[in-house]
Structures are given as structure tokens and as C-alpha cells.
A and B are shown apart, each in its own frame.
Chain A
Amino acid sequence: MAEPVANAAAPAPAPGRLRNAFGGVLCAFTLILIGVLAFSIRLFSVIKYESVIHEFDPYFNFRVTQFLSKNGIYEFWNWFDDRTWYPLGRVIGGTVYPGLTLTAGSIWWFVNALNIPLSVETVCVFTAPIFSAIASWATYLLTKEAKGTGAGLMAAAILAMVPSYISRSVAGSYDNEAVAIFALVFTFYLYVKTLNTGSLFYATLNALSYFYMVCSWGGYTFIINLIPMHVLLCIVTGRYSSRLYIAYAPLVILGTLLAALVPVVGFNAVLTSEHFASFLVFIILHVVAFVYYIKGLLTPRLFKMAMTLVITVGLAVCFAVVAILVALVASSPTKGWSGRSLSLLDPTYASKYIPIIASVSEHQPPTWPSYFMDINVLAFLVPAGIISCFLPLSDASSFMVLYLVTAVYFSGVMVRLMLVLAPAACILSGIALSSAFDVLTRSMKFQLSKLFDDGPAISGNGSPNGSSASTVNTSSSKNEKTEKSEAAPKEKQSKKNRRKDKEVTESVSVKPKKEKRLSVLPLEASIVSTLLLIALGGFYVVHCVWAAAEAYSAPSIVLTSRSREGLHVFDDFREAYAWLSHNTDVDDKVASWWDYGYQTTAMANRTVIVDNNTWNNTHIATVGTAMSSPEKAAWEIFDSLDVKYVLVVFGGLVGYPSDDINKFLWMVRIGGGEFPHIKEPDYLRDGQYRVDAQATPTMLNCLMYKLCYYRFVETDGKGFDRVRGYEIGKKHFKLTHFEEVFTTHHWMVRIYKLKPQKNRIRGKLKKLKSQSSKTSSTLAAGRKKNPWQ
């Protein structure tokens, strides 16, 4: 798009070129600053806490990266991990999206090749901030394609600090989304770029970028559905062009071939319903291209005849194909859709059928405040951006609108997909702000020049504000271009066609002096509006920095709380994992709810039964059943899985709300889904979940209750649970099949060992009991004071 800019400055060649160069340098400098901003705003977590990996999934990614850096890519590719999902194991190489790991591994390898001895952990911690800087540059490119440099810079700056993205990409948050958002935006950029230029080179790059996205994140299906939708939109609105064909057809073919190379996707790229839309649109695109081709060959009358013929035949074939597809798809139980995709299409699907998806907090629908929290003022700017996109509507800007609309829908289904919405919101807000500033500064300049100099008003158009003027120019020229290219199929050779396009652009951009005498606002209104917009931006920046510093930086393995005495640090998780790694045998199996699986394997290096990769529902249900069963049944389940230790997370002492008792109903539901003898109503008193004196006996006797509240009454004498806010129901009890081996400082993690089977089987003890009742009663008296000895 450099050409139109140069052309805009054409009337005054020498100073224009200088200004242009200056603009370019300024733009580059701004971009660098935006990159620095994006990187540094994500460092709060390192500064406030420490340089650690955060949360759950990042620990797995970290472990995989360690393995990769130690054993090389082929070992990683073929890695069969026998330390998770015992005894099933997991083929890591074939079930993981390798993009993030390979990226970080390459960075580590590269840095070490330069003799900079960074640890793998350091590289992993800082991968996300680095990629958010790159993502904001990609946003700049994408927005620039749609609405010019000004909007691009604006959007990049907004994206650099949008809280929704920060929440997933602070230093230490080493998750797929960290690189996937960059890949997403960059793929869209290349698509729009191809659409604008019709260059096969960019189309190929686009397929490669799509490949990187497929490597990185399961969210790639969003791309492979959004782009076909846009293509369809273009066709339906009569915007078919050869550029559209070049932008789409290579992407489908190359992209699908490349996607099938990723082991975790494999044949899914052609077998699952998520990808069918792209193939369908691919067929439609060809039909449309063929129709345009025939139209060019025949006379209108003949064409009409041919059209009816083709449409009848085409429809018949289409029906046949669709019928076959439907039959194929309907034959599979999930209709060819994966559970997660289904829960996107039907938001109530997961809660009805797949508790394991519904149980994850980030799969819940978001609340309204979370929109304000995550995208803040962008929520108000986006509508303005949509309007701006329609003035005028180009292929690129229609893509932005479509992207936004779909992303808003998806974010409404799952709070996690707020992340996909964030770039769209940033781009449209950038466009909105840029257009607004454009109008305001132009009218200010116009009014000022009228005020100080009653000379010719033309100088106002001479655009000292180079970029904004050129924006108008660009868009208008683009408009021309699309109009022109609709007629394009008449030309036979697309190569020439494109050259022609360029000529048209050049000719267009010289002439439109008259059109640009657009709406001009009064000076005062412009100044006030500008100030207000700047204030709005300032508010946004303040909010973002607050969110980055306070809300989204906590690593969740180290917790802090402020009290009157000062900052209090809860480092119980690492304490527990360190205990496990120092005090248990290397092949011991540790059972816990799946949330802690990744951390246990990564930090304690112990085999776990289930982990956060929830691929086997039955196995998770088995653990859920054990946790919901009485002690003996639970012991038998765990023993059959060779479990040695059981780990529970308990927040009742310090008031940590996301503990196992609060997650327990999900264990019951998931367990009951596979093993019907576990029934949810048994754990609820009148539909209410409670663990106080009103709780049901099943609840008070299940393993989870016992492991969490064992000896709890010792702490304060009453057994007051600070999360639930009441005293627990059953305070004094003993464990027969489990023994407590470790409880962390704040009781947040408690580890129990399975007692071995009794060496002897006792007899009935008839008379002895009555005889010894005297002694046992004295024992019982002593027990009141300290029942645990």
C-alpha cells in the first residue's frame, strides 16, 4: 500500500517524500515502542512475584519443552509418557499441539547457540511477552491492510495492553494461546493481504502461517471456519474476484495438507465436521468461478440458457453430495463434531452431556462485568469501528466486521474465547479511534487554516496530516479497485488484470480532490472531542496497567494476601510438591483431582492417574468415584490403580476458595456419569451443597470430606471452615485405610498414604471386648482430648 501514499504526495514531490520518510521512521519507532510496551506491561508477574511458570497447563508445556530441549525433536515426536494417566500412559508427541513447544525450544536453542546461557524455564517464562509484542505488530499489519497506517498503529497500541490478552500472556503464562494469538492475527493479515493484492506469494505465506496456527492451538478451527464464511459473504454480496480465489483456494488445499501433518490433527483435517465448511465453500467458489468464466465466453442469451441448465444440474449434484455428507455425518454419534465444538454451537450442550467440559471454569459463559474487565472501553468503541468499516465497505473491512461478530458470539459461549474477541475488538476500536481522530484533526486543521489564513482552502486538502489524508485516499482507491475488479473476469488473463488494477489505482488517486471536502466540524467541538477521546484512551491505559499489575499477574501457585501485618505469602503448593519429590519413591503413583496432574508430574516428578489433558473420561470418572466413595471402597479403587499417595487441596483453613471441596460436586457428577451408583442427590441436602451439620451422611462419609477435614477440628477447636463460612458437620473421626503423611503450612495441600492391607484378619473378639470395655472407655476418655494419638 505504499504506492497510493506516494501518489497522494505526488503534487509536491520533494517535501512530500521527506515527510513520507519521516512518517515511515516515526511509524517504525512507534511500533518499536508498542513492542516494548507489550513486553514490559507483562512483566509485573516477574517483578511482583518471581520468574516462575504459572497455573496448570503451562507446567505441562514447560515439562514438554524441557524434554524437547534435552532429547531433541524426534524423541519429542515419539514421546510416550508413562508418568501420566497411569496405567494407560499418554503419547505426548501425537496428542499435543507442538507449536508453542517448538517455538520456545527453538528460541532456547538459538539463544544457547549464541552462547547466551539461558535456562529453559527462563525462555518459557518470557515466550508469551515476546509473542505479544509480535502479535501487536501483526495487528498493525492487519489493520493497516484494512484501514491504513493510522488505524494500524492505534490498533497495535490498544492490543499491546488489552487486559483480555494480558491475562493469557503475562510472563510465566506459558500456554498455547501465547503464540496462537499472534498466529491468528498474522494469518488473518496474510489472508487480507492476499485478498488486497491477489499475490500467490502471500497466499502461500498464508498457508504456512495457518500451518503454524494449527501447530499452536486447537482454535485454528476458528480460522478455517471464519475465512470460508468471509469468502461466502464476498460471493453472496457480489464481490467475487480472482483475488478472492487466490486468497482462498491455495489456503484450503495447502492449509489442509499442512494441517494433516500435525500429528494431533492428522486425518481430522478432512474427517471432522469442523473442517467441512471450508471444503463446501471451496466447491462453491469453483462453481462461481466457472460461472464467471462461462459468462465471459457466451452471449447473455446463451448464458441465461446455460445458467438454468447448470443450476439444475448443479443443484442436483449438490443435493446428492449434501445427502451423502449428511448420511456420513449422521452415522457418527457426535455428528462428527468434537464435544468442545458442539458446546460452542449449542451453549447448553456441555452442561447437559459432558460435565468434564462444563466443569472447567474457563469454559463457562462470561458474565457482563468480565467484558468490562477484559476489553474495557473497547466495548464502546467497537460499534463505532463497525460503522467506520462500512465507510466504505471493502473486502478487508467486511472481514473485520465478520471476525468481530463471530468472535463476540464465541466469547459469549466460553469465557476463554474472550481471547479471540480481544484482537477483533482492538482492531475495530483502533479503526474507530483513528477515524474519529482523522475527522477531528482534519476539521481542526481546516478551521484553523480558515482562521489564520483566509487564503485558498485547497491547502487544507493538501494534507499536512499525511497519513489520514492518505487513508481516505487509500480506501477510496480501494473502492475503485473492487468496483473495477468486479468487471475483471471479462479479462482473460488475470496477470494482466492485476496490472490493470494498479493502473486504475494510480489514475484514481490523482484525481479525487473534490470528493474529499467531507464533513467538517466546528473547531471547539473538535478540540473537546479530541480531548475526550484522549481521556478515554487514558482511562483505558490506566485500567490496563491496573489489570496487568493487580488482577492478572498472580501465578496461582504462589498466593498472596494483604493483611494488617503486611503481605502474606502462601507457598503451599510448591511445599507439597517438593515434599513429594523428596520423600516418595520415584515410581510412586499419586492420585488427585485432575487439576493438579500437570503440576504433580512437572514439579514433583511423580506418576499421576489423571491430569489436565482430560482425554479419558472413564479414568477421570474412576478418580471422581473414589473421591466420592466411602473410605474402604475408595481404598480398593486406588489400590487397583497402584496408587500410593492421595493429594487433596483444602482451603478451609485460610479461605482459599478454589479447593477440592468446592470442586467436589463435579467429581460426583463426572464419577456418576460413568458409575451410576454415585448419585448426585445423595450429596445434596434439599438440593443444597453443604458440609456442615445439615450435610447428608453420604457426604460426611465420603473420602474427599474425610481427607479434607481430618484433624481439622484441632486447629481452632470448632472446625470452622473459612471458605464455606460455617462449622463442619463431622469433626471427630479416624481414618482406617489412609494415613496422613504431610500437610502443608497453611493446610492447603494435604497428602495421605494408602495404608497397606492388614497383615492379619481379625477374629470376632467376643468376650474380650466386654472385658476390655473398661480399658477402652478410659482410652476413649483420653481420646476426647487428643483423638489422633
Chain B
Amino acid sequence: MAAPRVLLLLAAAALLAVSSVGDASGEGPRGRKLLVLVDDLAVRSSHSAFFGSLQARGLDLEFRLADDPKLSLHRYDHSASDLIRGIATECGVDFDEDPEAMVIDHINYASSEVEGDHTLIAGDDLIQSDVILGSKKIEAPVLFRGIGHAANPSNSLVLKVLSASPSAYSANPEAKLASVPSLTGSAISLVSVMQARNNARVLISGSLDLFSNRFLKSGVQKAGSKMSHDKAGNEQFVTETSKWVFHERGHLKAVNVKHHKVGETNEPSMYRINDDLEYSVEIYEWSGTSWKPYVADDVQIQFFMMSPYVLKNMSTDKTAVYSASFKVPDVYGVFQFKVEYQRLGYTGLSLAKQIPVRPYRHDEYERFITSAFPYYAASFSTMGAFFIFSVAYLYHK
């Protein structure tokens, strides 16, 4: 069931979270309906470029005020910003506790006409991932103005897409700095994404402006840098990350798991030890419009019983079919064909298929062993000799 996606835009909290929850079904991995929550409907026009690009990609947007009584999000009796904080915390992202705090960087700020308080950050510490940010490199820095957050490094599900520079810190620009800021340096994340274990994707940004028409259109020059870009990297950044968030890229599916003995085509219910078998699976990636074969050389198959007995790279023929053939180990038990494919930015693939492996049947051993021929000869000659002896003993007078 494709649940409606939720796009939350809350100007008061100055942050934006994009979340999409659902399940891969039908043709594409996600539905096309999108809920946009805003504190102020003016956002609709101030961010029209971004929304326009979404709509151009076929998404169906529905705008609502965050305090719309018809939305069941309301049952949590918090303010809208608390709600977003709560969701972010659920996702493993912790915003600065001070709601007035902003990320300040006195070195890597974007230079502008007025010498401001250096809260307009020109971020260029982007994650190295073609899947999340697209294959085309984002040359211009990304403009950011808003609250910073941090993710626990041990949290394997959250990725920092846009990190702050080492000279950044998070504090209230209006107030005097009383103590050491809790968030400093590159530990501050400006934009993070989270891919949950069920492959749902969430993008969390502390800056609503990052998506605004103004930032998308404006030029940027990093302080202290000669290079001036007449267009900030924001447009490319929001387009590419939104593609990723809405599962238009990096979404894999595995179908048609097949295994059989070498030389046969039917899938057996059980293998025997030392059988030779072939395993194949088809892996596709969603391109936004259709399922395309996924090509990689690092997909591995495990033949697994408490630990992998066989671990092998699967070869692919560019038509999405990955296959491997191997010999069943000389151990019987209930094995599993396991494909555990976890790559940065891609949805996780974890396939497990149970298959028992039995020992030899009583009639599958060698009937005669060559090295035992002396023993056969011995026993048969003894039998013959005993027979002759009996005849001789009984009838010889």
C-alpha cells in the first residue's frame, strides 16, 4: 500500500523535513501523492521553484497548514516545532536544543553585500555518493541558513549529506556566547538523510531557505575565495536529493530468485551434500520511470548455516541476472541462500531462502571400493574354503 508521502515545511522552526513512507508496490517503488505541511501558505509561493520541479516530475502536491485539525498528527499535543524535533529525534537526528540557535561560520560563510552575522553558510562538504547527489558533481557551494543538528556516529542509518566546516558552531547569533557551544565543527550536519530499515527515506534540513526560490536563483561567492558562481548549488542539490528521497534513484529490487542443480532446471526442495548448484537472482534499479537492470560487480551470495560456508561474488550479464554456481559443502543441515547487499545510498537488499541439505542416502555411497578389493577377495576365498572344508569333513571317510 502506497501511503501518502508527507512533506513537512514549517517556517517557524525554520527547518524542512521530507519523509516518504510506503512500500514498493505496483510499478514504481512509491506512490505519487505528496502532503506538504506548512506553517504559512506563503511558503507555497516563496518556494515555488522547488515545488514546481517536484510537480514537473509528476508528484501530486497537497498543501496543508501544520495545525490543520483534519490531520491526525495533531494528537501529539506539542507545538509544530516540537513535533518536527520529535520526528527528527525518532530518526536519530538531534537539533540544537536552543530553538533560536543558528549555524554560524566566520570563515566559510557566503559573502554578500552586507557584513552580516555569518549565518549564511556556503557549504561545500558534500557526501561522496552518486546515488544521493546524482552523477553530475555539484560545483557551486550550497547556501544554508538555519539551525544545525547532529547525528550519532554510531547510528548506521543516518547520513550527513551536507556537513558544516570545522570552523562552524551553533549558537544564537543575537545573544552573547556565554559558554562553549554544544555543537561545533564538522560534527554539525546541515542536511542529513536517513534510510530506515524498511527503506523509507527521510531528509532533514535545518534551513527552509535552502529550498527557497531566492537561494535557488542567487549567485554565491564563498568568503575569501576568488571563485564566484553566478548560481548557487542549491537547485541541483535540492533536485538531486529530492529525487533520492522520493525513490527515483537508488531503489533496488530483487526478483526471480532461482536455484537448481547444475544441468537441471527444476528447483529441488532439498540438496545433497557435494551437489553442484546454480543460483541466480535478478536485480533492478528504479530509474524514476521504469525498472532498469542494476549493474555491479560486488553482489555476493552466501550459503549460510550459522556462518557462511560459501561466500562468492556473483557474475552479471548486464541484463540484471546475477548468478553463481558452487558446490554444496560437505556438511548437512538447514542452509540459507543469503544475499545481503547494503550499499551507500541504495536500498538494502536482504534475501534469505531456506534450503535443507541432506547427507548421502544409503544407496548413494560407492558400492565397491577399489582399495578394498583384497578384503573382498579374502572374505570370498574364506567362504569358498570353508565350504570345501565342510564337504571334505562331512563326506571324507
A associates with B: yes
* Residue ranges of A at the interface with B (Cβ–Cβ < 8 Å): 74, 77-78, 80, 82, 86-89, 91, 93, 587, 640-641, 757-768, 771-772, 775
Residue of A nearest to B156 (CB): A761
Chain B 351-388, CB within 8 Å of chain A: the 1/0 string?
00010101101100000000000000000000000000
Chain B 274-286, CB within 8 Å of chain A: the 1/0 string?
0000000000000
Q: With contacts A80-B270, A761-B155 known, what are 15 further pairs, Cβ within 8 A?
A: A77-B362, A78-B361, A80-B332, A80-B358, A87-B306, A87-B336, A88-B333, A91-B358, A641-B306, A760-B157, A762-B90, A763-B152, A766-B97, A767-B97, A768-B82
Residue of B nearest to A84 (CB): B334
In whole Å, how far is B93's beta carbon from the nearest beta carbon of chain A?
Answer: 6
In whole Å, how far is A228's beta carbon from the nearest beta carbon of chain B?
Answer: 26
Taking a contact as CB atoms closer than 8 A, the residue among A80, A641, A760 that contacts B359 in the complex is: A80
- The CA of A587 and the CA of B269, in the complex, are separated in Å by 13
Residue of B nearest to A772 (CB): B78
> 11 A-B residue contacts at CB 8 Å?
A80-B359, A82-B270, A640-B306, A759-B196, A760-B92, A760-B196, A762-B90, A762-B92, A763-B88, A763-B93, A764-B89
Contact of A760 with B356 at beta-carbon distance under 8 Å, contacts A87-B335, A88-B334, A768-B82 already known? no
In whole Å, how far is A765's beta carbon from the nearest beta carbon of chain B?
Answer: 5
- The CA of A775 and the CA of B75, in the complex, are separated in Å by 13
Contact A89 B356 (CB under 8 A): yes
Residue of A nearest to B198 (CB): A759
Residue of A nearest to B79 (CB): A771
Taking a contact as CB atoms closer than 8 A, the residue among A93, A760, A768 that contacts B91 in the complex is: A760
Interface centre among A74, A757, A758, A761 (most CB of B within 10 A): A761
Contact A763 B361 (CB under 8 A): no
List the B side residues contacting A78 at CB < 8 Å. 358, 361-362
Contact A763 B356 (CB under 8 A): no
List the A side residues contacting B259 at CB < 8 Å. none
List the B side residues contacting A760 at CB < 8 Å. 90-92, 157, 194, 196-197
* Residue ranges of B at the interface with A (Cβ–Cβ < 8 Å): 77-78, 82, 85-86, 88-94, 97, 151-152, 155-158, 194, 196-198, 200, 270, 305-306, 332-336, 354, 356, 358-359, 361-362
Residue of A nearest to B199 (CB): A759
- The CA of A762 and the CA of B359, in the complex, are separated in Å by 46
- The CA of A765 and the CA of B332, in the complex, are separated in Å by 48
List the B side residues contacting A772 at CB < 8 Å. 78
In whole Å, how far is B195's beta carbon from the nearest beta carbon of chain A?
Answer: 10
Contact A768 B156 (CB under 8 A): no
- The CA of A82 and the CA of B86, in the complex, are separated in Å by 46
Residue of B nearest to A89 (CB): B333
List the B side residues contacting A759 at CB < 8 Å. 196-198, 200
Number of A-B contacts (CB under 8 A): 84
Contact of A768 with B196 at beta-carbon distance under 8 Å, contacts A87-B334, A763-B90 already known? no
Contact of A763 with B92 at beta-carbon distance under 8 Å, contacts A87-B305, A89-B356 already known? yes
Contact B91 A763 (CB under 8 A): yes
- The CA of A77 and the CA of B364, in the complex, are separated in Å by 13
- The CA of A619 and the CA of B384, in the complex, are separated in Å by 51
In whole Å, how far is B312's beta carbon from the nearest beta carbon of chain A?
Answer: 20
- The CA of A764 and the CA of B194, in the complex, are separated in Å by 15
Contact A766 B94 (CB under 8 A): yes
Contact B198 A91 (CB under 8 A): no
List the A side residues contacting B354 at CB < 8 Å. 587
In whole Å, how far is B96's beta carbon from the nearest beta carbon of chain A?
Answer: 10
Residue of B nearest to A766 (CB): B97
- The CA of A578 and the CA of B358, in the complex, are separated in Å by 29
Contact B82 A82 (CB under 8 A): no
List the A side residues contacting B78 at CB < 8 Å. 771-772
List the A side residues contacting B88 at CB < 8 Å. 763
List the B side residues contacting A74 at CB < 8 Å. 362
Contact A763 B151 (CB under 8 A): yes
In whole Å, how far is B297's beta carbon from the nearest beta carbon of chain A?
Answer: 29
List the A side residues contacting B82 at CB < 8 Å. 768, 771
Contact B157 A775 (CB under 8 A): no
Residue of B nearest to A769 (CB): B89
List the B side residues contacting A775 at CB < 8 Å. 77
List the A side residues contacting B93 at CB < 8 Å. 763
List the A side residues contacting B194 at CB < 8 Å. 760
- The CA of A184 and the CA of B57, in the complex, are separated in Å by 84
- The CA of A587 and the CA of B89, in the complex, are separated in Å by 37
List the A side residues contacting B94 at CB < 8 Å. 763-766
List the A side residues contacting B332 at CB < 8 Å. 80, 89, 91
List the A side residues contacting B306 at CB < 8 Å. 87, 640-641
Interface centre among B194, B198, B305, B354 (most CB of A within 10 A): B354
- The CA of A77 and the CA of B359, in the complex, are separated in Å by 12
List the A side residues contacting B155 at CB < 8 Å. 761, 763
- The CA of A87 and the CA of B332, in the complex, are separated in Å by 9
List the B side residues contacting A86 at CB < 8 Å. 334
Contact A768 B85 (CB under 8 A): yes
In whole Å, how far is A266's beta carbon from the nearest beta carbon of chain B?
Answer: 12
- The CA of A343 and the CA of B89, in the complex, are separated in Å by 59
4 A-B pairs with least C-beta separation = A80-B358, A82-B356, A87-B334, A763-B89
Contact B334 A82 (CB under 8 A): yes
Contact of A768 with B362 at beta-carbon distance under 8 Å, contacts A88-B333, A89-B332 already known? no
Interface centre among A91, A763, A766, A767 (most CB of B within 10 A): A763
- The CA of A80 and the CA of B355, in the complex, are separated in Å by 13
Contact B97 A761 (CB under 8 A): no
List the A side residues contacting B151 at CB < 8 Å. 763
In whole Å, how far is B347's beta carbon from the nearest beta carbon of chain A?
Answer: 13
- The CA of A772 and the CA of B85, in the complex, are separated in Å by 12
